[in-house]
Amino acid sequence: MTDANTPEAEQAAPMSRADAMPDALPIEEAAGLTRDVAENVERVIVGHDEEVEHVLVALLARGHVLLEDVPGVGKTMLARAIAESIEGTFRRVQFTPDLLPSDVTGVNVFNQKTREFEFRPGPVFANVVLGDEINRAPPKTQSALLEAMEEEQVTVDGTTHDVPKPFTVIATQNSVEPSRTYELPIAELDRFMKRISLGYPDADEESEILDRVVGVHPIEDLAAVVDTERFQRAIATTAAVTVEEAVRDYGTRLARYTRENATLGVSPRGTIALMRASQARAMLEGRDYVLPDDVQTEAPTVLSHRIRLSASDERARSTRGTAGSGGREVVQEALERVPVE
Amino acid sequence: MSTGSGRTDRTVTVEPSETLSDLSEFRLAALVGTVALTLSYVGVLANVTGVVGGTSALVLLVVVSAAGGLFAARVVGERLAAVVGVVLMAGGLATYLAASPIGLVALVTQTKDIVADTVALMTGLSVLRMVEAGLWALGFAPGPVFLSWYLVARRRYLAGSLVGGAALLFLVLTGDATPMGTLAGVLGGIAAVGFGELDRREGTLLQADVLVVLVALITVTSLTLSLVPGGAADPLQLNEGGGAAPSTVEASLLNNPDRSPIVGSISLSPEVRFTVTADEERYWRVGVYDRFTGGSWIRTGRTTDYGGRLSSPPGPRRTVVQTYEVEGRTAAMPAAGEPVEVIGDAATVTKVTDQRNLKPSSTFIQGDRYRVRSEVPDATPDELRNAGDDYPSDVRDRYLQLPESTTDRFRDAAASVTADADNPYDAAVQVEEFLEANKTYSLDVERPRGNIADAFLFEMDEGYCTYFATTMVAMLRAEGIPARMAVGYTPGQQVDDDTYVVRGLNAHAWVEVYFPDYGWVKFDPTPSAPRRNTEVEAIQEAREGGGGGVDTDESTDATLTTVATTSGTNGTTGNGTAAQVTQTIPGFGPEENPGGDPNDTLGNRTVATPTDPGGGPSSGLPPLPSPEQTAIGAVVLLGAAAGAHRTGLDDRTYRIVRMHWQGDRGEPVEDVRRAYERLELLLAREHRPRRPGETPREYVDTLSAFGIDPAVREVAEIHEQARYAGRADREDADEAIRLVDRLVRERTPVIGSVYRRLN
């Protein structure tokens, strides 16, 4: 992982990512660039600096984000602002019960002139894809998106099409109207690097939002601060951040703790995600090595949604927090109890 | 604890077989504890059988009972096992009663007596004082052994230990259990219960530390504190015999009326005890002992009220009437052997032992007076030579007893000394002469370990009357001649024709040998001249010292004359063979040295030091610790270690050492890591330890709020680079070590202030 940009590591990488990783930027430059993006996004998104960072971390670590939120708190705006900032494309898919997989991936259309089938890409072909209310679509459609997330490619009628790079999916789940929804199974939740929620802004933030939005919405004149090509190099820099044995071991022990203290703990995929996110976090701070501190910062958003508790445990733990927060409690416990070495 | 566990116990026993490898450490430890407890009371019983015989039978019985208990645990229910245990105990008691003089009938007719006997046993009557002590021991053993092993096999450790503990307690109450043995038994019981509970509740080894501390505390406390008033003054004395040893001949012989331990160095008390008016001079006998344990003498049987004139002993007799005037408080009631009648009021307070000795039921005080009529044997040596060896069975049973510690070499020696004798009388004379000729009289002896008779015969060159008499009795018994040890007073200072002043220093031990149709005849193997010299010297010294009670009105001016028999003669017949040695010394004659050759060692006689506890032979080397001391030391060390673990002292010590010691330099990364570890130990002591989930960076950041040395942050940063980026060179490592060394040194008491001043 640490040397993913070297030729040997490239060959060992999965074929789907066979396209050459661009040269890594120096760490300071990459960090500065990311900060610029963050600042740019924060011009539009008020009061969610942390969440913006989380989304950027996911983007840098080539992961995807599940936003669990009430409607109307700026999810779309966040996704769009990020896309704009890196000069990337942005597409939004509103998942509905009648949405078909091809509505996500695109279809082959017969061209009368050329008398050939022509691939018309779906909304998934964008740098930032917002899958809104993903739990409203039937599982088959959900899985079309999830395949794209995992493979960074889409297969339609036997032909494989790569999605653009960088590629990140920000999916939202509507948790307030649980009826007529298809809740994501844990196996699919696992594919999201992070689960975060924006939550309501406080009074000051809300009045600032109104202040900004009345008149011309700032998103309209949001300019890119970096091109996708350079952002790709920042992603390469992230992949090159050192993860020493001590940190890897710490991550493993955290995962093991969750497995020992919950019905379903963190999967190896979760551990890998944690390490990648920690790399991005270190890079964000301009450090070319991961500290346990980075792991601790990332663990709650990266690990919580991968944990399932028995109904009684969930009840017992949820009394301390909000309902359904059992996974977060377990992670918090792990962070307190698993010794840092 | 024991109740409510029946269900689990039953399931345990269903397991077909438990091999050694299945045993948990705790079960093993609990079993070892039970073994210790069992050994503690079986050991006491073995001491009894060691004296009267039957040890091998006892061992067999115990092994069979324990095996029976273990086997029964698998096949029999608890109720049945309890019945078996009770039957075993009752059977043992019945066997004992059937063989004892009282008889089995007594169980029905004399229940009161049996209860009284049990009470007597439980209030300090030694088991060894019972006539059938061996049989009693064999009867006592199987019940508790069977039951305790049955219960322990069923994992009912508490109940098992209670059964074993009750058996031990009984023997403690009889006074037979030694302090060390009792301690071992109690510790074994505690260990069995404690480890047993850990076994049943599947505790961890670290939870055993409290138990270990407890055991060590009990050991140390019981050995160093004595709360029993007037009890042993020196509880840590680990010598055989234990307790404070009497320091005078008189005390050693006469103070404990039923049991007479043989002690080491002793001195002589010059105080006057009695004034005796008698037709002829005799040894004024106080007590007779029949059972020899190897280390002490015991009087078996019961003491009854004096109920009028006693039967006359067999054979030709002379009557000697003695009047005793008590000059000092005493519980002794001397009388020439054999007393047949107490004349006057004193008869009402007189008791008689099985061996026809008189005892006052209350203490005599100064001015008390009593008259005794004794019948002394009046047989010639020739008559005694022809007395034969047709001993009555009760004499054979009681007066031929030898402890099992009697060695073959001792028997061989006894045989060779008496080789020329063709009758018991000659054999006795030969033993008497042999001892007088070969051993020297001295009060300054170190009490040997083990069998006194054997040690005196083979390893010692000198001793006093107790040693001579003990050895002679043992030799005669080895030759099949009934003999016993008598204690009392020599005639004392003759102040008038028929008046004798008897002092404490006249206390003496001698031998009585039984001859069919003639009864008990006195022999005295102690060399008389040196003994008398010693006595005379002691009186003179006491007079010079001005101590009171040394003299009566008559004795001050009278010549200091005592009478004794010379070597090779017994004073029993009094028909001219006894040559009188009279030593005359003026009342005050400091310039005169007693004639002859008083032993050099006599200079030490007033130094009434008991033998050195645990001391070996007086060589130049310091004595090696005895096994007991080593064992106690080990227990104490173990307890200290467990206590240290309990209190976390071991951790703390480890941390301090780790903090100061960097160790050898190695890879830079490792060195930095080690330096940081030391830093954390230092910070932990000064502020607080790093919490498990706290990263080094958070830790240092938090502590910064309290103000820390900038060097701390510097080291933390070097460490971070080394640990999490894998970057550290020699320079970094040395810098980190240097900084930590400085920080540690500055914070070391004393050195720190000096160090800070220098820099």
CB contact at 8 A, B254 and B234: no
CB contact at 8 A, B146 and B66: yes
Q: Which two tokens stand for residue B357?
A: 């000795």
Residues of chain A numbered 239-298 and touching chain B (CB < 8 Å)? 242, 244, 246-247, 288-293, 296
Per the structure, the count of domains in chain B is: 3
Partner-chain contact B694 A291, CB within 8 Å: no
What is the Cα–Cα distance from A228 to A90, expressed in whole angstroms? 13
Domain assignment of residue A245, yes or no: no
Burial of B559 (0-12, 13-18, 19+ CB in 10 A): middle
What is the Cα–Cα distance from B284 to B507, expressed in whole angstroms? 9
SS3 B223: helix
Domain boundary among B194, B224, B254: B224
Domain assignment of residue A159, yes or no: yes
Structural domain for B546, as ranges: 269-574
In chain B, which residues have their Cβ closer than 8 Å to the Cβ of A336?
A: 691-693
Per the structure, the count of domains in chain A is: 1
CA distances for B542 relative to A150, B272, B489, B561, angstroms: 113, 11, 19, 16
DSSP-derived letter for residue B521 is E
In chain B, which residue's Cα lies nearest the Cα of A249? B724
Partner-chain contact B695 A291, CB within 8 Å: yes
| Cα of B692 to nearest chain A Cα, Å | 4
CB contact at 8 A, B149 and B66: yes
> Would the pTM count as exceeding 0.80?
no
Q: Do B168 and B282 share a domain, yes or no?
A: no
Q: Do B19 and B108 share a domain, yes or no?
A: yes
For chain A, say whether B328 makes contact (Cβ under 8 Å).
no
Q: Are strands B291-292 and B350-352 parallel, antiparallel or unpaired?
A: unpaired
For chain B, say whether A139 makes contact (Cβ under 8 Å).
no
Degrees to nearest 5, angle at CA A149 with A145 and A151: 115
For chain A, say whether B691 makes contact (Cβ under 8 Å).
yes
Domain assignment of residue B291, yes or no: yes
What is the Cα–Cα distance from A274 to A284, expressed in whole angstroms? 15
- Give the residues across from A169 on adjacent strands: A129
Q: Which amino acid is at B174?
A: T
C-alpha closest to that of B565 among B550, B575, B557, B555: B575
Q: Do B371 and B503 share a domain, yes or no?
A: yes
Q: Which two tokens stand for residue A246?
A: 């001590």
What is the Cα–Cα distance from B702 to B697, expressed in whole angstroms? 9
B692, B693, B725: residue with CB nearest A244: B725
Residues of chain B numbered 719-748 and touching chain A (CB < 8 Å)? 720-721, 723-726
Please give the pLDDT value at position A279: 92
In chain A, which residues have their Cβ closer than 8 Å to the Cβ of B723?
A: 244, 246
Please give the pLDDT value at position B233: 33
Please give the pLDDT value at position B571: 39
In chain A, which residues have their Cβ closer than 8 Å to the Cβ of B693?
A: 296, 334-340
Partner-chain contact B696 A292, CB within 8 Å: yes
What ipTM did this prediction achieve?
A: 0.81
CA distances for A171 relative to A41, B708, B745, angstroms: 18, 47, 58
In chain B, which residues have their Cβ closer than 8 Å to the Cβ of A246?
A: 723-724
C-alpha closest to that of B429 among B347, B363, B348, B511: B511
Partner-chain contact B726 A339, CB within 8 Å: no
CA distances for B626 relative to A323, B305, B613, B632, angstroms: 71, 46, 10, 10
Please give the pLDDT value at position B235: 35
Beta strand segments in B68-178, E: none
Domain assignment of residue A222, yes or no: no
In chain A, which residue's Cα lies nearest the Cα of B673? A341
Domain boundary among B526, B553, B574: B574
Domain assignment of residue B722, yes or no: yes
Residues of chain A numbered 305-334 and touching chain B (CB < 8 Å)? 334
Partner-chain contact B691 A336, CB within 8 Å: yes
Domain assignment of residue A320, yes or no: no
For chain B, say whether A138 makes contact (Cβ under 8 Å).
no
Please give the pLDDT value at position B560: 59
Q: Which of B673, B674, B690, B695 to mutate to test the interface with A (most CBs of A within 10 A)?
A: B695
In chain B, which residue's Cα lies nearest the Cα of A297? B695
Q: Do B344 and B427 share a domain, yes or no?
A: yes
| H or E element in which residue B508 lies | strand B507-515
Q: Do B367 and B500 share a domain, yes or no?
A: yes
Partner-chain contact A339 B693, CB within 8 Å: yes
| Cα of B695 to nearest chain A Cα, Å | 6
Order across the sheet with B291-292: list the strands. B259-261, B296-298, B291-292
In chain B, which residue's Cα lies nearest the Cα of A331? B693
Write out B593-616 in H/E/C secondary structure.
CCCCCCCHHHHHCCCCCCCCCCCC
The crossing angle, in degrees rounded to 10, of helices A292-303 and A268-284 is 130
What is the Cα–Cα distance from B501 to B508, expressed in whole angstroms? 15
What is the residue-wise DSSP string for B490-503? ---EEEETTEEEEE
Q: Are strands B507-515 and B499-503 parallel, antiparallel or unpaired?
A: unpaired
C-alpha closest to that of B48 among B260, B291, B245: B291
A244, A289, A291: residue with CB nearest B697: A291
Contacting residues for B540 by C-beta, under 8 A, at least 6 apart:
B560, B585, B589, B590
> How many Cβ pairs closer than 8 A exist between chain A and B?
46
What is the Cα–Cα distance from A246 to B679, expressed in whole angstroms? 19
Q: Which two tokens stand for residue B476?
A: 């005669």
CATH code, domain with A77: 3.40.50.300
| Cα of A332 to nearest chain B Cα, Å | 10
C-alpha closest to that of B540 among B586, B480, B506: B586
DSSP-derived letter for residue B330 is B
Q: Do B183 and B45 share a domain, yes or no?
A: yes
Partner-chain contact B695 A336, CB within 8 Å: no
Give me the residues of chain B with pLDDT under 70, please.
1-23, 99-118, 122-125, 203-208, 222-268, 545-625, 628, 749-759
Please give the pLDDT value at position B12: 40
A244, A334, A335: residue with CB nearest B723: A244
Q: Which two tokens stand for residue A237?
A: 């820099």
B691, B696, B724: residue with CB nearest A290: B724
C-alpha closest to that of A327 among A109, A250, A310, B247: A310
Domain assignment of residue B199, yes or no: yes
For chain A, say whether B696 makes contact (Cβ under 8 Å).
yes
What is the Cα–Cα distance from B479 to B415, expressed in whole angstroms? 7
SS3 B31: helix
Domain assignment of residue B51, yes or no: yes
Domain assignment of residue A185, yes or no: yes
Q: Kindly calculate the radius of gyration of chain A based on its CA atoms and give it in whole angstroms.
A: 20
Q: Do B215 and B312 share a domain, yes or no?
A: no
Q: Do B211 and B275 share a domain, yes or no?
A: no
Contacting residues for A163 by C-beta, under 8 A, at least 6 apart:
A124, A125, A126, A148, A152, A153, A154
CATH code, domain with B442: 3.10.620.30
What is the Cα–Cα distance from B388 to B678, expressed in whole angstroms? 91
C-alpha closest to that of B375 among B253, B285, B449, B300: B285
In chain B, which residues have their Cβ closer than 8 Å to the Cβ of A244?
A: 723-726
Peptide bond into B338 cis (omega under 30): yes
For chain B, say whether A208 makes contact (Cβ under 8 Å).
no
| Cα of A235 to nearest chain B Cα, Å | 19
Structural domain for A120, as ranges: 44-205
Q: Do B520 and B427 share a domain, yes or no?
A: yes
Q: Put residue B492 in one of left, alpha, beta given phi > 0 → left and psi -120 to 50 → alpha.
A: left
Q: Do B166 and B278 share a domain, yes or no?
A: no
Contacting residues for A80 by C-beta, under 8 A, at least 6 apart:
A90, A92, A128, A130, A219
The crossing angle, in degrees rounded to 10, of helices B157-173 and B142-153 is 160
SS3 B726: coil
A242, A244, A338: residue with CB nearest B693: A338
For chain A, say whether B717 makes contact (Cβ under 8 Å).
no
Half-sphere exposure of B62 (CA within 13 A, CB side): 23
Domain assignment of residue A54, yes or no: yes
In chain B, which residues have their Cβ closer than 8 Å to the Cβ of A292?
A: 695-697, 724
For chain A, say whether B234 makes contact (Cβ under 8 Å).
no
pLDDT averaged per 10 residues, chain A (length 341): 41 43 82 89 83 89 86 82 88 88 86 84 89 85 85 84 88 74 79 85 81 75 84 89 90 90 87 92 90 90 86 65 68 88 81
Contacting residues for B92 by C-beta, under 8 A, at least 6 apart:
B138, B139, B140, B141, B142, B143
Q: Do B207 and B335 share a domain, yes or no?
A: no
In chain B, which residues have their Cβ closer than 8 Å to the Cβ of A242?
A: 724-726
Domain assignment of residue A121, yes or no: yes
Q: Which two tokens stand for residue B486?
A: 């008598």
Write out chain A in H/E/C secondary structure.
CCCCCCHHHHHHCCHHHCCCCCCCCCHHHHHHHHHHHHHHHHCCCCCCHHHHHHHHHHHHCCCCEEEEECCCCCHHHHHHHHHHHCCCCEEEEECCCCCCHHHHHEEEEEECCCCEEEEEECCCCCCEEEEECHHHCCHHHHHHHHHHHHHCEEEECCEEEECCCCCEEEEEEECCCCCCCCCCCHHHHCCCCEEECCCCCCHHHHHHHHHHHCCCCHHHHCCCCCCHHHHHHHHHHHHCCECCHHHHHHHHHHHHHHHHCCCECCCHHHHHHHHHHHHHHHHHCCCCECCHHHHHHHHHHHHHHHCECCHHHHHHHHCCCCCCCHHHHHHHHHHHHCCCC
Q: Which two tokens stand for residue B198?
A: 């850990």
| Cα of B693 to nearest chain A Cα, Å | 4
Domain boundary among B170, B193, B224: B224
SS3 B468: helix
Q: Are strands A194-196 and A168-174 parallel, antiparallel or unpaired?
A: unpaired
B692, B695, B724: residue with CB nearest A244: B724
Q: Do B529 and B415 share a domain, yes or no?
A: yes
